[in-house]
Structure 1
Amino acid sequence: MPSHSAPEPDIAADTLELLEWPRLAEHVAGFAGTEAGRRHCRLLPLPASPAESLGLLAETTELLALDGLIEGGLSFQGVADIRATVQLCAKGGCAGGEELLDLAATLAAARRLRRQIEDPQLRPVCSALVGELRTLPELEQRLHFCLEEGGRVADRASAELAALRRRLQAALAERRERLQDLLRRYAPMLQDTVLSERSGRPVLAVKAGAAAQVKGLVHDSSASGQTVYIEPQAVIALGNRLRELQGEERELERAVLLELSGLVGEEAEALHHLQRILVRLDAGLARARYGAWLGAVRPELTDDPETPFELRDLRHPLLLWQQRREEGSPVVPVTVRVGPELRVVAITGPNTGGKTVTLKSIGLAALMARAGLFLPCSGTPRLPWCGQVLADIGDEQSLQQNLSTFSGHIRRIARILAALASAAAAPNGGSTPPPVVHPAGASLVLLDEVGAGTDPTEGAALAASLLRHLADRARLTIATTHFGELKALKYGDSRFENASVSFDEQTLSPTYRLQWGIPGRSNALAIATRLGLDAQVVQAAAEQLRPGGSGEVNQVIEGLERQRQQQQEAAEAAAALLARTELLHEELLSRWQQQKEQSAEIQEQRRRELEHSIREGQGEVRRLIRRLRQGGRSGGREAAETARVTGQRLKRLQQEHSPQPQRVDHGGWRPAVGDRVRLLALGKAAQVLALSEDGRELTVRCGVLRTTVDLSAIEGLNGEKASPPPLPQVQVRSRRNPASRGPDVRTEANTVDVRGLRVHEAEAAVEERLRGANGPIWVIHGIGTGKLKRGLRDWLATIPYVERVSDADKGDGGPGCSVVFVK
């Protein structure tokens, strides 16, 4: 017997393990873009208030929409974990060059992400996160100026360092020349004409027999003893000098790194805040991409504990992952609808029917919504914010603690009750029942096989008493059981409800479908028969059930199941009839549309035939007139009069049968580019190609004709009359400081040269100059490949206080210089 018992683990943490929450968190972490984000997602913390959870859900929604708008998705490339570097610098330590370069890259990436995310109208929550983010462009520019690729300190970082490196390179070149001269002089005595190194010193591979002829310091010899590695005497002093110079170089490099580390340490608070925001954004994007991969939807989460649970077609996320990533079995969804009046749901049915999976699915759904994750459901899931999710799932048997299955369940249930009592204690010392819900949210309790592991009679009584107790203290308790006595609790207490998992007796397999309102049967006798148990044994068991009440209960349940099946079949027949009706309706609409189109085609064909006849008649009249003119006066007057009358009749006929547009007064109608309009002078349709600045003239194309017309010379195809736009109102826009407006000519003070810089370096230089600008700024970037110019133009387009950007005058640089006008 053990001398003492182990301390009880926290029931909330124990519940997370039972629901496999760490496994789900690992799945979410796989969608993060940085190591810090993955580390945060593996913990997947649960907020302590509904407001925090709603904020996380809003972040997930906004980042999911933004990720779909950006080509290639939102990228965290360049973001590094800078916590250790910032902590070291804040304590006065010296960070390495690579760590400082990573910090500079993180600052540049944070600036890029802020530009992509910040939009208070579309993304208010995420914009508030990045709105006060300090990206420290001066610090980034200083780091990039002093450090080269790979973290090496650049020559330009220090004049002393640059001079020392020149002396070092000269000494290295001198030693190289001396060694080459010695190689030529001692060539017959050498095993190899290639210089080697031993302990960082250059050596010659001298034959052992000639070693005495070469003056110098022996550093090593070959394994065979045939070769001796000698540093020639002529370069020993020079090598010592090089060592001294290299030591001085390291000291000067360390001085530069210490200076840069000091600058980082001064901004430690801002950098720590930046790191926290980047990790939060990365975690939010991971939640969004995980939800999109699941096909999940945003839940409607409320802080009202009485909010009903409405989860339609809920699928277990871990089983869904297993189905898609590991080619597992298809996941059968469950639908949960629990009204505000219900407190306990008892799920019954056969083993392996999906009762435990249902428990875990509901528990994970409550935790996922609280953590800001979307739920794999249909429609819009609704549920209250659950401040407590407590579970007793699985076998708690322990040989080390001398616990049976029943004892293990009882100990865990006792911890659940203690957690509920501590969260919602009675205000008057326990004289009245405690409140139903936790003040900070709802309590969800999940019990698997409640009361199992002991005598069935006592277990059923204990389970019934426990569920009644929980109905007074928890917002919702969902319990699975095989006890028939628990199925009758619903009929004596309106806070109870029954549910069951269905079982197909023909195929001897569960359907994993959850049915509400009807208790389930264990189907033990049917399963035993199918598995080949002796018929006499099964018959004897059935005889024992008939006299008791349980047999009658099973008959009632069987009748309810038949009734439900009939209702289901009737509902399916009604759905099929509705579908056929919809198809018929669509077919009728389609035929009506076809007839309408055919009628229009017939009318158009008749109109074309009439126009053709009129044109033929007009041609005949013209020919008649031409002959009359050629024939002289004899008999011509009578024929001419006949031709004139005929022509007038043809014109009236054309006017009567030509389709006239229905002119409707459309007040305020104005054409737009791409619209089709009618030219009143020609009576033809044309397409609008362009509009003048005042909107009173249009450039239109009619066939091959392209012309500019006034607004009054056109109308809509349906007879709309265009209304002219209002006269523009001239407004005087004040500058930030009109009294101190700078000159509009280029000077040294308003010019910044960024040639040779990277885009992010140029952005930092221009941003620094723009802060104090009170007039236009000339940015010299050169022409080259145009990459620097395009990058700067794209960046300047996102800055709110930049009015416009244009090329400079030819005398100021033309296309190689941009003029930035600030508001």
Structure 2
Amino acid sequence: MTPAAIEQETLELLEWPRLADQLASFTATAAGRRHCRTLPLPSALEESRTLLAETAELLGLDGLTEGGLSLQGVADIAASVNLCAKGGTASGEDLLQLAATLAAARRLRRQIEDPALRPVTTALVTELRTLPELEQRLRFCLEEGGRVADRASVPLAALRRQLQGARAERRERLQELLRRWAPLLQDTVIAERHGRPVLAVKAGAAGQVPGQVHDSSASGQTLFIEPQAVLGLGNRIIDLEGQERELEQVLLRELSGEVAVHAAALEVLQAILVRLDVALARARYGAWLGAVRPELGSTAEDPFELRDLRHPLLLWQQKRQGGHPVVPVTVSVAPELRVVAITGPNTGGKTVTLKSIGLAALMARAGLFLPCSGTPRLPWCGLVLADIGDEQSLQQNLSTFSGHIRRIARILEALQSTAGGAPGAPATTAGGAALVLLDEVGAGTDPVEGAALATALLQHLAGCARLTVATTHFGELKALKYADPRFENASVAFDEETLAPTYRLQWGIPGRSNALAIARRLGLEASVIEQAARQLQPRGEGEVNQVIAGLEEQRQRQQEAAEEAAALLVRTELLHEELLSRWQQQQQQSAELQEQRRQQLEHSIREGQQEVRRIIRRLRQSGGGRRPDTAVLGETARQAGRRLKHLEQQHRPLPERRQHAGWMPVVGERVRVLSLGKAGEVLELTDDGRELTVRCGVLRLSVPVEGIEGLQGEKPTPPEVKVRVQGRRGLAAPGPDVRTERNTVDVRGLRVHEAEAAVEETLRAANGPVWVIHGVGTGRLKRGLRAWLDTLPYVERVTDAERSDGGPGCSVVYTH
């Protein structure tokens, strides 16, 4: 069996198709649902990282867009395009759906395009060719429901007028015959038989009504006759209807031929739309699960860090079907570990843990977020292999010992065929890390031989797989940790008081079977239990269980101590916040007191200055400077005034300085993203300091430095930019400001939205100004286009053309 076949078998064992069906329920198109139900797994690390980036970008856009990002109007056009490419004729309804898909693709491209916030999806939609000319042609020729419009063809319009006249004439003649032959008729309603209008004539009066009999009633009392007077008109109408169908088919063939010309571009468009639909489904599925974006390691040696991992299928069951709350497990595997042996009682959650780890590796590889807390980290697993046959699977597939051995043999063969690297370090594969999941390894045979086989198998897998997680009841496997540093023990906890599993995973401690405790609680005779305990003593299992029990008690005491330390830390933080608040209040009060004293001093200085002025004024009134003593007193008063003014200047408050001038964020600092209104952590700064990467929750954004501020309102001061002036040469030079056929678009007679599509396509291909001929008319088309052009960021200005180029009936659009 090939590695792909055994991996497909692993997907079935892990119930991956169920998860794919759940993901498909979040898609918006039929093609997206088909893709999700198969859900192919990427074959390279970079593909998975690209898918994760698409999921994150569309998750952010979906949350910012009112009503969410919509794929309304997107249809599955693959079959229609394939039919047209092979020379076939598509139906009018299919062609109209293709036009709606082109319009929806253009709308999505406008919503998604933002290289700064969404670089990956922007690069994806830039490959879209929305073909506005083809869309306009299809909408012009087709009406609602796919009917070919009269305006599509002059001969068709003329033929339909003839057909309409003939039908009206036949209807008038039939109404006249109804009135004339009323006594001969069973009913005064014009019926239809075999596509021809007939009158319900009494059987006895059939000879009085000339015409062709098409049918009779079950009793034979009524004959349905097409009157002779309308037979010719009926034949003519049938002939005209045939001509109408032929003309319609001619037009549909022409439209199908135009679609065939653009078949390659339409196939690319269909693939991109499906990819966007699936990426949006991944984003919405992850948000519904409360999942977070994982980080995929570049090497197979990277650790597994999955905190509070919840099984996605059980989480779906809890939310959709009201199941029991899902108990999370934490998986922490250091780079040097190769094998984790999980022990514990049955129904304790060992198999669920296995499946959770396997699904987490597959979900991260497929671009899905993981239902964890924090930031999950794990290597990219290019090969996930499993041997799981338990009573908890939906298929009730209880594997025998031989079935287990055959499957394990295929796993070893797959590992050997994909192994790469040196023999001394075979824990990686050419396609990334290899993850092996084994349930009840070595079970189904003699316990002694089964334990020996399981030990040898796990030691072999430690050298050829990045990580092997195995569940077992064999006590011999618990001791491997103490002889080989590549091994680790884990166990599922069990409450002996309630005889119920807690489903919590404990690392570093092997589990106990608890068989004797369960038997005692269930009322088994005490003598039997004592005899069983004596049987265990010679083998040393009693002492082992006592050691395990002691370790569990120690773990419990450590857990309680950790909880007490956490509570103490919380109280310390609260005390620190209270002290800080009081210090700030004291600082504020001190500042207010200083301000009061300064104001009092200023008041005293002003009073002193007024008193000096009064003294000087009295001296001047008493005779000025004629007496020597008066002059001395006046000089003394002026000097006192100068000193008071100097004191006032010294105690005058300094102008408020900008507290945040020159501030720039650093890596690790938290800032506020203005476009989102949310706080985030700075992850990276560009070399020029003009852009930075910020993480807001699950989003990683690249924003300009002007788009953020500090949590206290600090405005960043970006570094000076050295401007380099470089001339444009060659193909990059702007086009001439001369009107030509290539830079002119005629939109007269189009609706505003049709004109927008035509102008936008011309602007994208233009290298200079564009002349838009819209005519004068009522002015609605010109006003609509001008209002739309004002919203485009790359449009610099719009003016009326010169009189020789059309004047007010033509607009010239200048772009940056």
The structure-2 alpha-carbon separation of the partners of 1:770 and 1:569, relative to structure 1 and needing over 3 Å to count, comes to: closer
2:282 matched to 1:291?
A: no
Following superposition, the deviation at residue 302 of structure 1 comes to: 2.7
2:529 matched to 1:534?
A: no
Match of 1:575 among 541, 544, 566: 566
Following superposition, the deviation at residue 648 of structure 1 comes to: 11
Following superposition, the deviation at residue 650 of structure 1 comes to: 10
2:796 matched to 1:803?
A: yes
Match of 1:160 among 155, 161, 166: 155
Following superposition, the deviation at residue 220 of structure 1 comes to: 2.8
Tell me the secondary structure at the aligned position of residue 751 of structure 2: coil
Match of 1:740 among 736, 743, 765: 736
Tell me the secondary structure at the aligned position of residue 463 of structure 2: helix
2:489 matched to 1:498?
A: yes
Deviations 1:259-290 (A, max 9, x none): 11111112222211211111112111111111
Following superposition, the deviation at residue 738 of structure 1 comes to: 6.2
Q: What residue number does 1:685 align with?
A: none
Asked if the contact 2:185–2:200 (Cα under 8 Å) also holds between the matched residues in 1, the reply is: yes
2:513 matched to 1:518?
A: no
Asked if the contact 2:752–2:781 (Cα under 8 Å) also holds between the matched residues in 1, the reply is: no
Q: CA separation in 2, counterparts of 1:751 and 1:82?
A: 29
TM-score of the superposition, structure 1-length normalised?
0.80
Following superposition, the deviation at residue 358 of structure 1 comes to: 0.8
Q: What residue number does 2:28 align with?
A: 33
Q: CA separation in 2, counterparts of 1:135 and 1:419?
A: 45
Q: CA separation in 2, counterparts of 1:183 and 1:137?
A: 53
Match of 1:389 among 384, 387, 396: 384
Q: What residue number does 1:775 align with?
A: 769
Q: What residue number does 1:764 align with?
A: 758
Q: CA separation in 2, counterparts of 1:435 and 1:664?
A: 61
The aligned amino acid for 1:450 is: V
2:480 matched to 1:489?
A: yes
Q: CA separation in 2, counterparts of 1:85 and 1:195?
A: 40
Q: CA separation in 2, counterparts of 1:152 and 1:277?
A: 29
Q: What residue number does 2:336 align with?
A: 341
Tell me the secondary structure at the aligned position of residue 119 of structure 1: coil
Q: CA separation in 1, counterparts of 2:496 and 2:809?
A: 82
Q: CA separation in 1, counterparts of 2:463 and 2:726?
A: 68
Tell me the secondary structure at the aligned position of residue 451 of structure 1: coil
Q: CA separation in 1, counterparts of 2:808 and 2:566?
A: 69
Following superposition, the deviation at residue 579 of structure 1 comes to: 1.2
Match of 2:78 among 83, 86, 96: 83
Tell me the secondary structure at the aligned position of residue 546 of structure 1: helix
The structure-2 alpha-carbon separation of the partners of 1:668 and 1:323, relative to structure 1 and needing over 3 Å to count, comes to: closer
Deviations 1:424-450 (A, max 9, x none): 3899xxxx7893322221111111111
Deviations 1:135-193 (A, max 9, x none): 22221121111111111111122221122112212222222332233333334444443
Q: What residue number does 1:184 align with?
A: 179
Deviations 1:483-526 (A, max 9, x none): 11111111111111111112222232222221111111111111
Tell me the secondary structure at the aligned position of residue 129 of structure 2: coil
Which is worse superposed, 462-471 or 111-120? 111-120
Q: CA separation in 1, counterparts of 2:583 and 2:785?
A: 56
Tell me the secondary structure at the aligned position of residue 92 of structure 1: coil
Following superposition, the deviation at residue 620 of structure 1 comes to: 13
Q: How does 1:724-739 map to 2 (within 5 A)?
A: none
The aligned amino acid for 2:215 is: D
Asked if the contact 2:769–2:812 (Cα under 8 Å) also holds between the matched residues in 1, the reply is: no
2:418 matched to 1:436?
A: no
The structure-2 alpha-carbon separation of the partners of 1:188 and 1:566, relative to structure 1 and needing over 3 Å to count, comes to: same
Asked if the contact 1:388–1:441 (Cα under 8 Å) also holds between the matched residues in 2, the reply is: yes
Which is worse superposed, 534-543 or 344-353? 534-543
Q: CA separation in 1, counterparts of 2:453 and 2:106?
A: 62
Asked if the contact 1:346–1:479 (Cα under 8 Å) also holds between the matched residues in 2, the reply is: yes
Q: What residue number does 1:821 align with?
A: 814
The aligned amino acid for 1:523 is: N
The aligned amino acid for 2:166 is: A
Following superposition, the deviation at residue 557 of structure 1 comes to: 1.5
Q: CA separation in 1, counterparts of 2:808 and 2:584?
A: 58
Following superposition, the deviation at residue 256 of structure 1 comes to: 0.4
Which is worse superposed, 30-39 or 653-662? 653-662
Gaps of 5+ in 1: 1-5, 670-724
TM-score of the superposition, structure 2-length normalised?
0.81
The aligned amino acid for 1:752 is: D
Tell me the secondary structure at the aligned position of residue 346 of structure 1: strand
The structure-2 alpha-carbon separation of the partners of 1:244 and 1:375, relative to structure 1 and needing over 3 Å to count, comes to: same
Asked if the contact 2:800–2:807 (Cα under 8 Å) also holds between the matched residues in 1, the reply is: yes
The aligned amino acid for 2:223 is: V
Tell me the secondary structure at the aligned position of residue 341 of structure 1: coil
Q: What residue number does 2:111 align with?
A: 116
The structure-2 alpha-carbon separation of the partners of 1:165 and 1:336, relative to structure 1 and needing over 3 Å to count, comes to: same
Asked if the contact 1:307–1:340 (Cα under 8 Å) also holds between the matched residues in 2, the reply is: yes
Q: CA separation in 1, counterparts of 2:455 and 2:112?
A: 54
The structure-2 alpha-carbon separation of the partners of 1:515 and 1:133, relative to structure 1 and needing over 3 Å to count, comes to: same
The structure-2 alpha-carbon separation of the partners of 1:467 and 1:785, relative to structure 1 and needing over 3 Å to count, comes to: farther
Which is worse superposed, 302-311 or 180-189? 180-189
Tell me the secondary structure at the aligned position of residue 538 of structure 2: coil
Following superposition, the deviation at residue 251 of structure 1 comes to: 0.3
Match of 2:225 among 206, 230, 249: 230
Following superposition, the deviation at residue 203 of structure 1 comes to: 2.2
The structure-2 alpha-carbon separation of the partners of 1:783 and 1:369, relative to structure 1 and needing over 3 Å to count, comes to: farther
Q: CA separation in 2, counterparts of 1:227 and 1:619?
A: 126
Following superposition, the deviation at residue 16 of structure 1 comes to: 0.7
Q: What residue number does 1:456 align with?
A: 447
Asked if the contact 1:793–1:805 (Cα under 8 Å) also holds between the matched residues in 2, the reply is: no
The aligned amino acid for 2:751 is: L
2:546 matched to 1:555?
A: yes
Tell me the secondary structure at the aligned position of residue 94 of structure 1: coil
Asked if the contact 1:28–1:286 (Cα under 8 Å) also holds between the matched residues in 2, the reply is: yes
The structure-2 alpha-carbon separation of the partners of 1:737 and 1:459, relative to structure 1 and needing over 3 Å to count, comes to: closer
Deviations 1:636-681 (A, max 9, x none): xx9xx9xx99999999998777644356899999xxxxxxxxxxxx
Q: What residue number does 2:668 align with?
A: none
Gaps of 5+ in 2: 624-629, 664-719
Following superposition, the deviation at residue 245 of structure 1 comes to: 0.7
Following superposition, the deviation at residue 790 of structure 1 comes to: 5.5
Match of 1:377 among 372, 379, 388: 372
Tell me the secondary structure at the aligned position of residue 586 of structure 2: helix
2:116 matched to 1:125?
A: no
Q: What residue number does 1:543 align with?
A: 534
Q: CA separation in 1, counterparts of 2:447 and 2:772?
A: 89
Which is worse superposed, 406-415 or 388-397? 388-397
2:248 matched to 1:265?
A: no
Q: CA separation in 1, counterparts of 2:474 and 2:421?
A: 32
Tell me the secondary structure at the aligned position of residue 159 of structure 2: helix
Following superposition, the deviation at residue 87 of structure 1 comes to: 1.2
The structure-2 alpha-carbon separation of the partners of 1:383 and 1:615, relative to structure 1 and needing over 3 Å to count, comes to: same
Q: What residue number does 1:702 align with?
A: none
Deviations 1:196-247 (A, max 9, x none): 3222222233344443332222223344544433222221111111111110
Q: What residue number does 1:676 align with?
A: none
